């Protein structure tokens, strides 16, 4: 689909990657860009229409789908990462919050906007996933589980919306230079570079974006994950745990 002339809605549009998405959409000539955010007052870029939305509030998701009935491009960007392990986390709170937002929130958006996209000619859905959809790292273990669930959701929604001509794009990335990765000392790609790749993919009809070298390497290694992906993570984690105990 063409971005120019499209009507887009981006979740988590007030900062980070979501803000880069809205700016890129405006620069490519989108006719209208709804910037959905829990704090809509923080959506301040010219041309972006602030829209109050917490994606974990299913009733509000339905209301927004009814009001923004002209959307042809849905960008499910909002997400949380609590840097939580499976075993030593003090409770299930982080795992539940990640699943509520990254999986159920995204699912709720897809369900409410599917008929909107159908009415507007099919359009496209972009789901912001992660390299951790493909493997687990103890550093953000339960986040990875929520992104793996969202990856599965993305593949399923693509199958279910094919009949209405909706393109469903999965975006996987390693570290992106936003607040979420602020404490990470590792190579990061810019949010602007991810936004460029994603809307190039939407315009080309591609179903998947692997946004950086690390993500491409991990996806290519999946058939040998226990030989190629997990040993260095295990070594790193064992050393980190030894440092703590």
In the complex, least distance from residue 158 CB atom to ligand NAP, rounded to whole angstroms: 18
From 203, 123, 199, 212, select the one nearest 172 (Cα to Cα).
212
Instruction: For residues 174 and 71, give the distance between their C-alpha atoms in angstroms, rounded to a whole number.
Output: 29
- Closest CB to ligand NAP among residues 124, 176: 176
Q: What track of x and - describes contact with ligand NAP for positions 127 through 166 (by CB under 6 A)?
A: -x-x------------------------------------
Instruction: For residues 170 and 109, give the distance between their C-alpha atoms in angstroms, rounded to a whole number.
Output: 15
CA atoms within 13 A on the CB side of 238: 6
In the complex, least distance from residue 138 CB atom to ligand NAP, rounded to whole angstroms: 17
Q: Please select the residue that binds ligand NAP; options are 176, 202, 209, 229, rule is CB under 6 A.
A: 176
Strand partners, 49: 34
Residue spans of alpha helices (H) in 99-140 = 106-119
Instruction: For residues 192 and 177, give the distance between their C-alpha atoms in angstroms, rounded to a whole number.
Output: 10
Q: What track of x and - describes contact with ligand NAP for positions 59 through 98 (by CB under 6 A)?
A: ------------------xxxxx-----------------
Where on the chain is the footprint of ligand NAP (CB under 6 A)?
11-12, 14-18, 37-39, 53-56, 77-81, 101, 105, 128, 130, 173, 175-176, 178-181
């Amino acid at each position: 689909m063409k971005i120019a002339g499209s009507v887009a809605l981006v979740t988590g549009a007030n900062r980070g990657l979501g803000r880069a998405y809205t700016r890129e959409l405006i620069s490519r000539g989108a006719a209208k860009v709804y910037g959905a955010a829990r704090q809509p007052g923080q959506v301040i870029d010219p041309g972006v229409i602030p829209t109050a939305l917490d994606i974990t509030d299913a009733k509000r998701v339905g209301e927004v789908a009814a009001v923004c009935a002209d959307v042809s491009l849905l960008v499910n960007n909002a997400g949380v990462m609590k840097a939580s392990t499976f075993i030593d986390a003090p409770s299930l709170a982080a795992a539940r919050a990640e699943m509520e937002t990254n999986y159920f929130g995204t699912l709720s958006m897809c369900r409410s906007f599917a008929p909107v996209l159908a009415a507007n000619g099919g359009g496209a859905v972009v789901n912001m996933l992660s390299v951790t959809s493909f493997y687990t790292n103890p550093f953000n273990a339960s986040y990875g589980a929520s992104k793996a669930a969202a990856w599965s959701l993305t593949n399923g929604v693509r199958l279910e919306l094919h009949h209405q001509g909706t393109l469903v794009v999965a975006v996987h990335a390693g570290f992106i230079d936003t607040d979420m990765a602020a404490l990470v000392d590792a190579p990061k790609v810019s949010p602007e570079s991810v936004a460029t790749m994603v809307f190039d993919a939407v315009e080309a009809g591609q179903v998947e974006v692997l946004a950086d070298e690390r993500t491409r390497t991990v996806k290519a290694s999946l058939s040998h994950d226990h030989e190629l992906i997990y040993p260095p993570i295990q070594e790193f984690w064992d050393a980190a745990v030894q440092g703590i105990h």
